[in-house]
Amino acid sequence: MPVFDFSNMQAKKEPVRCTYTMVYSDNDHASPENPILIIDNTKREWKHHSFGIFANPNKQTTFEFEEEDGTISADILKVDARFVSLLKWLGEHHIHIQLSGKNTAQGYAVYKIQEISFGGRTKLSAEDGFLQFMIERLFASSAPVEETSEITTEEEDSDEMKLTSLQSITDFMTCAGRTLPDNIRLWARRNLAVARSREVSPEERRHAQRALSIMMNIQWKSDYFKSIDPEEARRILDEELYGMERVKQRIIETIIQINRTHTLPAYGLLLVGPAGTGKSQIAYAVARILKLPWTTLDMSSINDPEQLTGSSRIYANAKPGIIMDAFSMAGESNLVFIINELDKANSGKGTGNPADVLLTLLDNLGFTDNYMECMIPTVGVYPIATANDKSQISSPLMSRFAVIDIPDYTPEEKKAIFSKFALPKVLKRIGLHEGECIMTDEALDTVIDIFSDTTGIRDLEQAAEHIVANALYQIEVDHLKQVVFTGEMVKELLL
């Protein structure tokens, strides 16, 4: 009986043929000049919109074009390093896609990749818009410091894309997990294990999946901030605020500091002044200048620290805190926290002091939510607080802010604000022309005298609303073409 000796036979395994080099880029979008990848076009020029699949990356790094005369393979020459894992995933799962590109001297420069689902073909994820969602996240990330040279390492819109299913979360971790901070990536893997496990209760799995969905749908950005045009910032401040030159100067100084360091200042802003002086309006203007989403925390309505920190998952009705909800609503980690009535933060009526929770948020060392059970990076959070009485704010809180005192308006300033801002705004909203509602100088002086003992300009805005509404009534009911208000008429109307 013959005996065959296979000991000297070696299995033939062809090595992976990597044809591309990696390009390290921080561009936040693609174009023919800054493409996602470049494909060889020496054999033929490819169409602007081409269809096909990436070849299995364990065999070769090519794209298989589906042309009228059959399937034609072309080598991938260059790839943006951020997209290597995504291209591997697309190739391994034979995802049918459409490339948009331009033929150049270097090759076919691909600047758009879209998933095409038809004929029962495999989809990357159960979620529509998932591929575009991941591509946007990858563009928002920085180029990797190191990356292996092997691949192993009507159009859909991602605006409404939310990762909710375990499959989509898993796919995102595989293709774009490196866009997450290291500690969150480790946390996500652990929670994925819990969400899939059959050794824990359904309640624990539900909480793990919910926490994953919240965390994955936040775009975790770096702490690098692009330069801001000081002239544009000044224009916005002048548009939103009348006078307040010292306040505007302090804000412009902050903008110039950001331009020099490309990071947020170590201290937030604390705006202190009487009610109605525009403190919240200043905060919204700063958020607009920084081009960041904003959220508000009203400390007068928070009497328990758990409202800020969330509740533990051991409870069936557990949920994240207000701060974590703010990140989730903003959809990104860089945002402006507007903390209203900071002087009310020490009046907790529950089991602790809400002010103590704010200290961890303001230190920019990271914030821990009890429900998420993970350290949340806060380097991109810019706090702006408002208060009426800074004597009611604890020293630890005060030390974490740059304080700006907002003075009350002078009578002259109030008169200018009423005539140039409040009255025209109300006229425009109600639909009257300036010539239909006229205020004499005597009438303007009377309005200011009536509200001389009140702080801020809210009463003036309400007075403008009352006066214009009365003018509209006289025009519609009494068929007047024009209403001219005198001092006496204003007294009868407002007193």
Q: Which two tokens mark 313?
A: 């998952």
CA distance readout (Å), 264 to 17, 252, 254, 290, 386: 45, 13, 9, 10, 19
Residue 370: the pLDDT is 92
The per-residue pLDDT for 288 is 92
How far CA 267 is from CA of 245, 359, 362, in Å, comes to 21, 12, 8
- Alpha-carbon distance of 406 to 372, in angstroms, equals 38
Q: How far is CA 302 from CA 237, 268, 299, 309, 398, in A?
A: 30, 21, 5, 11, 19
DSSP-assigned letters across all residues of 405-463 = E-PPPPHHHHHHHIIIIIHHHHHHHHT--GGGEEE-HHHHHHHHHHTTTS-SSHHHHHH
Q: Sign (positive/negative) of CA torsion 43, 44, 48, 49?
A: negative
User: Does an H or E element contain 374, and which?
Assistant: strand 374-376
Pick from 297, 292, 309: which is nearest to 338 by CA? Answer: 297
Only one residue has tokens 């775009």, namely 219
Closest Cα to residue 187, out of 372, 417, 411, 419?
Answer: 372
- How high is the pLDDT of residue 149? 39
Q: Cα–Cα distance between 424 and 401 in angstroms, integer? A: 36
Token pair of 373 as six digits: 């059970």
Tokens representing residue 164 in the block: 């909710």
- Structural domains in the chain plus CATH codes: 21-156 (no CATH), 230-405 (3.40.50.300), 411-494 (1.10.8.60)
- Per residue in 443-481, pLDDT (tens digit) is 999 999 998 888 888 888 899 999 999 999 999 999 999
Query: Which among 290, 280, 277, 264 has a CA at the least distance from the CA of 385?
Result: 280
Q: Which is it for strands 483-485 and 437-439: parallel, antiparallel or unpaired?
A: parallel
- Burial of residue 347 (CB within 10 Å: 0-12, 13-18, 19+) is middle
pLDDT digits (tens, 9 = 90+) for 129-179: 778 888 888 888 876 765 443 433 344 444 455 677 888 888 888 888 888
DSSP state, 291? T
pLDDT of residue 257: 93
The stretches in the chain having pLDDT less than 50 are 1-13, 119-120, 147-159
pTM: predicted TM-score of the whole model, two decimal places: 0.69
| Cα 103 to chain centroid, rounded | 35
CA distance 413 to 424: 16
The CA-based dihedral angle spanning residues 246, 248, 251, 256, taken in that order and rounded to the nearest 10 degrees: -100
User: Which value, to the nearest 10 degrees, does the dihedral of the CA atoms of residues 424, 425, 426, 428 take?
Assistant: 80
Q: How far is the C-alpha of 481 from the C-alpha of 109, rounded, in Å?
A: 65
Reduced to 3 states (helix: H, G, I; strand: E, B; else coil), residue 400 is coil
Burial of 374 by CB count in 10 Å (0-12 exposed, 13-18 middle, 19+ buried)?
buried
Query: Cα separation of 445 and 39, whole Å?
Result: 74
